[in-house]
Amino acid sequence: MDRPRFRAAFLFPRFWPLWLGLGVLWLIVQLPYPVLLKIGRALGALMYRVAGDRRAIAQRNLELCFPEKTAAERKHLLKENFASTGIAFFEMAMSWWWSKPRLARLAHVEGLEYLKQAQRDGHGVILMALHFTTLEIGAALLGQQHTIDGMYREHKNPLFDFIQRRGRERHNLDSLAVERDDVRGMLKLLRSGRAIWYAPDQDYGVKQSIFVPLFGIQAATVTATSKFARLGKALVVPFTQERLADGSGYRLVIHAPLTDFPGATEEADCLRINQWVETALRACPEQYLWAHRRFKSRPPGEPRLYKKRG
């Protein structure tokens, strides 16, 4: 995909409200990091009150995945999750506009040697990640230290798409954006020894998935991870990230590549992935994107797990 380019049409009046909003956001994120964390938490508290549909989805997911917790514990976790989502709004802007040295001071990276070894050996890497609320800033921090290509879906607003891509790609000018549906392009990059960020933890429908357990619930799980690894002759390297509670930044962990993957069957591979997902989410549940309807698709004959939208 070509690099994003500024267009004169971005100066037309229809884009002025977005320019104003982006300008205000740019000013806010010049504040010190501890202040941004507090403002983000306040924004999250507001979202908790007004975003009823998203709150209901996240609450339902927590009920399904953590039945062993009390109602009070889940409510506290839900509020913390919205606080994390509010902070993520400013983390996104930080990753786009903070200077590279200022941003780099927040990074605590472990396991970078696995990516470097794969690169030396000429292996492509599927950097298997999750949809944490820290996704944007985590990718930026890792991108400063190693070239990571990303799966990408173009935003409907062309100005926002320009700002977003420019902000993401500035951390490593060698990184590439791959259209989410461009399977051939992705395989070509993997075979050439590049690393691609990929998250298999959402419900993409039954056509490209099989049902295997996640938190004891049958979940539609994409089989693409196995296919990409096999056809791209690539390693699958798990990647997790978390916002540190002491306010010192972010812990990024590149884990050892999965061994004997792909395995004998796609079902076994998907189950293995979901077991890893579950372990990662139990370690940092408040920072995950629970507002996604992860169990929307159901096996034949099973009832829906979410209420119909009004």
Task: Tell whether 18 is covered by a domain.
Answer: no
Percent of the chain past pLDDT 90, that is, above it, reads 85
Asked whether residue 302 is assigned to any structural domain, the reply reads no
Tell me how far apart the alpha carbons of residues 125 and 115 are, in angstroms, rounded to a whole number: 8
* Single pTM value for the model: 0.93
- At residue 217, φ and ψ (nearest 5 deg) are -115, 135
Residue 183 or residue 64, greater confidence: 64
How many other CB atoms sit within 10 Å of the CB of residue 233? 14
Region 10-31 average pLDDT:
96
Q: Judge contact between 160 and 271, C-beta under 8 A.
A: no
241 by Cβ neighbours in 10 Å (0-12 / 13-18 / 19+) ranks as buried
Residue 163 within any structural domain of the chain:
yes
168 pLDDT exceeds 60?
yes
Cβ neighbors of 183 (< 8 A, separation 6 or more) are 228
Residue 52 pLDDT exceeds 80: yes
Least Cα distance to 43 among 77, 80, 85 occurs for 85
Per-residue pLDDT tens digits for 270-304: 999 999 999 999 999 999 999 999 999 999 999 99
The sign of the torsion formed by the CA atoms of 224, 285, 175, 146 equals negative
Q: Looking at the 3D structure of the chain, how many domains does it have?
A: 1
Q: What is the pLDDT of residues 72-94, one digit of tens each?
A: 999 999 999 999 999 999 999 99
Place of tokens 């461009």: 182
Q: List pLDDT tens digits, range 225-256.
A: 999 999 999 999 999 999 999 999 999 999 99
Domain assignment of residue 95, yes or no: no
- Domain assignment present for residue 206? The answer is yes
- pLDDT given for residue 2 in this prediction: 65
**Of 17-21, 29-33, 158-162, 285-289, the least confident:** 158-162
Domain that holds residue 248: 101-287
Give 179 or 13, the one with higher predicted confidence.
13
CA distances 98 to 28, 32, 247, Å, are 11, 11, 17
Whether 111 is covered by a domain: the verdict is yes
Confidence of residue 197 (pLDDT cuts 50, 70, 90): very high
Label the pairing between strands 209-214 and 217-222: antiparallel
Residue 131 lies in a domain: yes
What is the average pLDDT value for the chain, to the nearest integer?
94
Examine residue 64 and state whether it is found in any structural domain, yes or no. no
Q: Strand runs (DSSP E) across 94-175, as ranges?
A: 107-110, 124-128, 149-152
pLDDT at 4 over 80: no
Band (153; pLDDT cuts 50, 70, 90): confident
